[in-house]
Amino acid sequence: MTTYTGGCHCGKIAYAVEGEFNEAIVCNCSHCAMKGFRLAFVPREAFTLKKGEGEWSTYHFNKGAIDHNFCKTCGVESFAFGKMPDGMEIAAINLNCIDALDLSKLTVQDVDGKSV
Ligand SMILES: [Zn+2]
């Protein structure tokens, strides 16, 4: 496992996350498309907030199953919290917000969220 660091644009929110990010999920739903996410899902325990508690607002839409946490200052959504269908708590990492990750090397996995 590699420990990556990431956060929002202004730096008020920063986190560490453990994983191997070789693949990015790109979803075509209205929300993901607008924000241009490249996503990876990790177990909630793999995500450690380093700073920024209270610095984000949370956006919900559709079934409200995912907490889309965006920075109140710069507007960047660097991570979200949610649950898998089996109830496992996960963090959705916006790989665009990870430091020192070569995005051009990621294999893109397209997800047709628009049709779900
Ligand atoms: Zn910010």
pLDDT tens digits, 47-90: 999 999 999 999 998 888 899 999 999 999 999 999 988 999 99
Q: How far is the CA of 70 from the centre of ligand 1 (A)?
A: 8
Q: How far is the CA of 116 from the centre of ligand 1 (A)?
A: 30
**Cβ contact 42:93 at 8 Å:** yes
The predicted pLDDT at position 90 comes to 96
CB atoms within 10 A of CB 98: 20
Q: How far is the CA of 38 from the centre of ligand 1 (A)?
A: 18
In the predicted model, what is the mean pLDDT of the chain?
A: 95
Q: How far is the CA of 52 from the centre of ligand 1 (A)?
A: 9
Q: How far is the CA of 75 from the centre of ligand 1 (A)?
A: 6
Q: How far is the CA of 14 from the centre of ligand 1 (A)?
A: 9
CATH of domain 2-110: 2.170.150.70
Q: Please state the rounded mean pLDDT for residues 3-12.
A: 98
Q: Please state the rounded mean pLDDT for residues 91-114.
A: 94
The sign of the torsion formed by the CA atoms of 50, 54, 55, 61 equals positive
**Cβ contact 22:107 at 8 Å:** yes
**Cβ contact 92:80 at 8 Å:** yes
- The kind and range of the H/E element at 43 are strand 39-43
pLDDT at 116 over 80: no
